[in-house]
Chains A and B, each alone.
Chain A
Amino acid sequence: MADPMRIRAKAEGNIATVRVLMSHEMESGQRKDSAGKLIAAWHINEVSATHNGKVILTADWGPAVSKNPFLQFNIKGAKAGDKVGVTWKDNKGDSRTDEATVS
């Protein structure tokens, strides 16, 4: 199973800044191993974020995103105590969901 994400969410005024760190290999499918064989692509395809259960962001990702990706976004109207959830799915069918509370 995939390792957990680190999610930090901080409200300032009526905007919350969310910082997400995901643990993923993000293998591009372009690299070769020491034997010269292509290493199969293995990366996150889909990211979505929720604010108190309501989907507020979806993103299609591909092989160009770095290993252990970092994502930052703002939520308008979020305040301390709100729940922020982030989910990713990769091209091998694995997925991971983590939740954090806005502080």
Chain B
Amino acid sequence: MKRILCTLALAGLAATAVHAQKSAAVLAIEEYRAMLADGNPAELFEAKGEDLWKQKRGPKNASLEQCDLGQGPGVVKAVFVTLPRYFADTNKVQDLESRLVTCMETLQGFDAADIAKTPFGKGEQNNVTALATWIAAESRDMKFNLPQTHAKEQVAYEIGKRLFFQRGGAHDFSCASCHGADNWRIRLQDLPNLTKNPGDGVGFAAWPAYRVSNGQMWSMQLRLNDCYRQQRFPYPGFGSDATVALGVYLGVNSQGSKSIAPAIKR
């Protein structure tokens, strides 16, 4: 038997052309991302989420298979590209994660407020992220088509737009400070212009995504939460109306763009 000592260089691979002109740097990063995309660990979370959906859990010992994500109870295929949307039973516009938490409360008997308070990456939040990853994957390559017929959906869009441009915090930042024009970046990360449609698989259409640098699966809620952290704002509540409204704004702007979620990020 031959013994091979395997050293995986993957995680330590650095983009070397950092200081070259932008095009070379961008090419190097793209090559690095392409290498990572083959074997995206998001698949592990997809498998876990699919399992969780069917598993009987919680105080009521029920599965989530009767959960209505907008296309009727139990329908998972193609729902992600229509969220956030208005739900009559809760009389609220909800995104995928806040809707999942509603289902976990009504069907499985979990305490929604308790889950919302749990930090990302801990306890039930891990399960919400895995479920969201799988459900997003069930809409891979489909085009965003958020409904804007209900009055609350239209209001959410307007609120999201205002929040996007609202400046505040210690640095007087807004979302638009970084995502308000084309070809901006932070260090080496290209920043999509989210005031218009950024195109297939960019911005709203790229999350949930696996972050290689910290080995974490990031949902849209965590993405928004971290954007606010970087702006030095207080953390927005998990599944709060503000984060959902921002989701509506970004999602409607991405109308017709393909979702590549779950994606892979640096």
Contact = CB atoms under 8 A, between A and B. Distances in A.
A-B complex is real: yes
B230 to A, nearest CB: 20
B8 A66 contact: yes
Nearest to A26: B215
17 contacts: A6-B43, A6-B47, A21-B44, A57-B4, A59-B4, A59-B5, A60-B3, A61-B6, A65-B6, A66-B8, A66-B215, A67-B41, A69-B8, A70-B41, A71-B6, A71-B8, A72-B39
Given A19-B39, A57-B4, A65-B11, 4 more contacts: A6-B47, A55-B1, A59-B6, A64-B7
Contacts of A70: 8, 10, 39, 41
Give the bracket for the number of chain B residues in contact with chain A. Answer: 10 to 19
A81 interface: no
A3 B11 contact: no
A66 B11 contact: yes
Contacts of A6: 43-44, 47
B48 A3 contact: yes
Interface string B40-69: 010110011000000000000000000000
Interface of A: 3-4, 6, 19, 21, 23, 26, 47, 55, 57-61, 64-72
A66 B5 CA distance: 15
A21 to B, nearest CB: 5
B153 to A, nearest CB: 37
A66 B44 contact: no
A58 B4 contact: yes
Contacts of B47: 3-4, 6
A26 B47 CA distance: 19
B38 interface: yes
Contact of B10 (A4, A23, A26, A66): A66
A71 B38 CA distance: 11
